Structures are given as C-alpha cells and as structure tokens.
Amino acid sequence: MSVVLKDFIEAEGLEPGDRLPPERDLALKLGLPRTALRRMLSSLEKEGRLIRHVGRGTFIAGSGVGSSALRRPATNEGDTLRTYPAEVFEARLIIEPKIAALAALRATRQEVEEMQKSIARGSTSESLGDFEKWDAVFHRIIVQAARNGLLASLYEGIHAVRAGNLWGKMKEQSLTSERMATYIVSHQAILDAIKDRDSREAERNMYDHIIEARANILGPSI
C-alpha cells in the first residue's frame, strides 16, 4: 500500500525538503485509516525516502521519493486537478446516484441497449484495461441519458481525475476478477432499475455501487 503514498507525493510534485501535510489531513485526503497511513510513513522512513522530525513534521528525503521523477509535468487533465481519492468518492456519492435517478426517467431504448452491451462487453473482458474501458462507457451512457448538461460537465471533471495516474494505480491494485464480477452485477442492478423506470431504485443501486468501490479502493472508512 506504500505505493499509494508514493503516488500522492508524485502527483503533488513534492521535492526533497518539502513537508508532507499533517498526518490527520493526509489520511483524510487519501481516504485511509490513520493506522494504515502510519505504517506507510514508517515503511518509507525505513527506506530512507522520508525524514520524520518530532514536532516539525515529515519531510521528503533527498533520494527515492522526491527525486527528479517527481518534478515531471502532469501528463493529463486528471493529474492537474488538485483533488484526492477520498474527495472524488465524496463527489461521486453526491452526483452519480442523482444522475442515475434522472436516467431512469429519461433514458431512451437505444441508450438502454447500449448500457446492456457495455455490461456484456465488460463481463467478457480479458484484461484490466478492457474492463475499465467498458466500465467507463456504462457510466457515461447513464450521464448522457440523464439529459442534464451541467451534471454532465461536473461528471467529466470526476472522469478526468479517475483517468489520472494516481487513481489508475489505485484501481489496478484493488481490482480482482471477483471484484470485477461483483461490479458487473452492480451495473446490471442499476440498469434493471433504469429499465423499470424506477428512479429511487436506480439511485439506491448506484449509491451502493460507489460505496462498494470506495471500500475496495480505499479500505474501511476512517
């Protein structure tokens, strides 16, 4: 799990001598229990990548984490947004269930068919990349079906972050074949509610789906 902290440092562009946020703030930003964060900090300190001073804080050491690799420019929009995994899930829980509720009222037959196709393609994916592609397609069709330009714009900001390097590495570490199968079941439940024009059920199923994804990526709630 130390890679999550390394990727955070990289995404922030922190350099040797820079100080990490206070432990409490860092745990909230990463969506990690403080006990897990302390283990990561201790591990990186033993590797000589961090320097911890009692009463002063934790600093990037002169090698390893904080090396020149951390100073490379962001490579995509998701890496330039100053947000963190825990914040992304907070935003998703506010926005996406309501989008699903609207989609249940407004989705066309063609959109429903496209959602079903994306689920089928995702269920037969042979690689993580293919699964992620069809997962994204499913969610974006729901956004399209909601017929709300402002919500669609807000969702694109979320999607940009999810396409970033830090998020991508965290997803890669969390996804297993069992979890991908569970996500497919969740997608089908969301779609079934949309087919039935049951906006409340669609909203509830989407909320549960995001809660499950958050637990798989970030671990138990703080």
pLDDT in tens, 165-219: 655 666 677 788 999 999 999 999 999 999 999 999 999 999 999 999 989 888 7
Each residue's pLDDT tens digit, 3-62: 677 777 777 778 888 888 888 888 877 777 788 888 888 888 888 888 887 778 888 886
d(CA 59, CA 163): 28
Answer for the pair 104, 131: CB distance below 8 angstroms, yes or no.
no
| Tokens standing for residue 16 | 């040797």
- Find the helix packing angle between 177-195 and 199-218, rounded to 10°: 170
CA torsion, ordered 140, 174, 167, 131, to nearest 10 deg: -30
Structural domains of the chain, with CATH: 3-60 (1.10.10.10), 85-218 (1.20.120.530)
Does the pTM exceed 0.75?
no
- Dump strand ranges (E) for 21-72: 50-53, 57-60
How many CB atoms within 10 Å of residue 10? 21
Answer for the pair 31, 86: CB distance below 8 angstroms, yes or no.
yes
